[in-house]
């Protein structure tokens, strides 16, 4: 992982969580930086190949063009599409040497949560003398092109030649770091246990994607993804609840749902908050109205054993007694087991007849399909 194919900076990290989240392993975050103006000639070698190939390009500058470059310890690299030769990457620029990048691996564990231990790939004694444990899962966090080694989110994510199996490794890359993570998987022939790329597209905020991942660590059930034919169907409330096998979670705990995400081409939808905490918990509330016929809107809030939600609008229009109205909403609080529902209606109009509107029945459905008939508190 000590290379950067398209720019001057890249970075990584690892930690070892157990079932409760952060565990007794470690958080290794690698740091790569460029040596000021110094330019060194990268160490090169010929790759062992059974077939002849074009000669390796001689380099005297980090930004070198050619078909392939080889370095000791990390092997050979080329620049095929989509890494180069495309509209957004027209130049076939080969990766820099680790000497130019100056890669560092910074280890955090529960024994050293605030101060890292520096590990040198060229010096195994630095690993042996550290808190690194081979029986714990290891996660490498690799930052993007515009990030630096002292970015706080890297440490936050860590906090929230050894006989060590690559299947026990999880590589997490953000932005350009996601490409580095993918390259790590390629060079190990897919032996790495898990690779995660935090790259946002379409309407998502690219620089926010790692924050989603960070919040997903702290909220194991707060990023449920709903399988749906289209986003318009999702916004029209046509994809709730989750199927019997449950909904997979976006982010850190996605690997807990291998049987639900194994098929290719699946698309899942979810809503997030507009600021941290981004986690959301989806509920469907169904209300059977009682009282007088009026025009207005209905609000409900959920009170549970884990917390209380704010008020959410269920319906707006003509409120007829006996009618049943429903809506889905994404609570910014995990309510848990719902114990009570507050019911509020309002038409924002002064009515001298003082009509009364109530609810004869309210049902709350969680995303796992559990139906809860709850006590009603009218307001």
Average pLDDT on 260-269 reads 76
54: pLDDT strictly greater than 50: no
Whole-structure pTM value: 0.66
Cross-strand bridge partners of residue 338? 304
3-class SS shares of the chain: helix, strand, coil, % to 5? 15, 30, 50
Omega of the bond prior to 277 within 30 degrees of 0, cis?
yes
Residue reference for tokens 């030649």? 161
196: pLDDT strictly greater than 60: yes
Q: What percentage of the chain exceeds 70 in pLDDT?
A: 70
d(CA 108, CA 121): 16
52: pLDDT strictly greater than 60: no
pLDDT at 129: 93
pLDDT tens-digit readout, 79-98: 777 667 777 777 777 878 87
Q: How confident is the model at residue 36 (pLDDT cuts 50, 70, 90)?
A: very low
pLDDT tens-digit readout, 149-181: 555 665 566 656 345 677 888 888 888 788 888
Average pLDDT on 261-282 reads 87
User: E-strand spans in the chain?
Assistant: 10-11, 26-32, 68-71, 75-78, 103-109, 112-119, 138-142, 169-174, 194-198, 226-227, 268-269, 281-291, 294-304, 312-319, 324-331, 338-346, 357-366, 371-373, 375-378
220: pLDDT strictly greater than 80: yes
pLDDT at 2: 25
Q: How confident is the model at residue 290 (pLDDT cuts 50, 70, 90)?
A: very high
273: pLDDT strictly greater than 70: yes
Q: Is 78 helix (H, G, I), strand (E, B) or coil?
A: strand
Top-confidence residue, 18 or 54: 54
Average pLDDT on 237-250 reads 91
223: pLDDT strictly greater than 70: yes
Residue reference for tokens 């022939």? 189
User: By mean pLDDT, which of 55-59, 243-247, 298-302 is the weakest?
Assistant: 55-59
pLDDT tens-digit readout, 310-334: 999 999 999 999 999 999 999 999 9
pLDDT at 76: 83
Top-confidence residue, 9 or 255: 255
pLDDT at 297: 93
User: Can you list the domains of the chain with their CATH numbers?
Assistant: 10-208 (3.40.50.1820), 221-269 (no CATH), 282-378 (2.60.60.20)
Q: What percentage of the chain exceeds 90 in pLDDT?
A: 29
Residue reference for tokens 């709850």? 374
| Residue pair 289/360 in contact by the 8 Å Cβ criterion | yes
d(CA 178, CA 97): 19
pLDDT at 189: 81
pLDDT at 149: 55
pLDDT at 146: 61
Q: Give CB contacts under 8 A, 24+ apart, made by 14-19.
A: 14/107, 14/138, 14/139, 14/140, 14/141, 14/158, 14/169, 14/170, 15/108, 15/109, 15/138, 15/139, 15/157, 15/158, 16/109, 16/133, 16/136, 16/137, 16/138, 16/139, 17/137, 17/139
Top-confidence residue, 280 or 352: 280
């Amino acid at each position: 992982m000590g290379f950067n194919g398209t720019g001057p900076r890249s970075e990584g990290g690892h930690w070892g969580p157990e079932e409760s989240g952060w565990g007794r392993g470690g958080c290794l975050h690698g740091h790569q930086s460029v040596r000021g103006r110094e330019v060194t000639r990268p160490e090169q070698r010929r790759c062992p190949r059974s077939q002849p190939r074009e000669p390796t390009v001689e380099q005297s500058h980090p930004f070198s063009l050619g078909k392939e470059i080889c370095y000791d310890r990390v092997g050979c690299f080329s620049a095929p599409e989509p890494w180069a030769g495309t509209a957004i990457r027209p130049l076939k620029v080969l990766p820099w040497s680790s000497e130019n990048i100056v890669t560092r691996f910074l280890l955090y564990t529960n024994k050293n949560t605030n101060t890292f231990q520096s590990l040198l790939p060229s010096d195994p004694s630095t690993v042996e003398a550290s808190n690194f444990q081979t029986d714990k899962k290891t996660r490498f966090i690799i930052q993007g092109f515009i990030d630096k080694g002292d970015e706080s989110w890297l440490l936050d994510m860590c906090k929230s030649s050894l006989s060590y199996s690559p299947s026990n490794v999880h590589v997490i890359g953000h932005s350009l770091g996601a490409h580095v993570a993918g390259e790590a998987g390629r060079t190990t022939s897919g032996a790495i246990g898990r690779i995660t790329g935090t790259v946002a597209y379409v309407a998502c905020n690219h620089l926010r994607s790692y924050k989603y991942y960070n919040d997903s660590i702290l909220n194991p059930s707060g990023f449920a993804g709903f399988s749906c034919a289209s986003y318009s169907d999702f916004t029209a409330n046509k994809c709730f609840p989750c199927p019997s096998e449950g909904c997979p979670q976006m982010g850190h705990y996605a690997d807990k749902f291998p049987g639900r995400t194994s098929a290719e081409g699946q698309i899942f939808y979810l809503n997030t908050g507009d600021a941290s905490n981004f986690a959301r918990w989806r509920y469907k509330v169904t209300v059977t109205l009682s009282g007088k016929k009026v025009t207005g809107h209905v609000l409900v809030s959920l009170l549970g054993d884990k917390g209380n939600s704010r008020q959410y609008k269920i319906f707006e229009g003509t409120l007829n007694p006996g009618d049943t109205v429903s809506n889905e909403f994404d609570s910014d609080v995990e309510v848990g087991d719902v114990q009570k529902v507050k019911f509020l209606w309002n038409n924002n109009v002064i009515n001298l007849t003082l009509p009364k509107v109530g609810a004869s029945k309210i049902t709350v459905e969680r995303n796992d399909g559990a139906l809860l008939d709850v006590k009603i508190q009218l307001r």
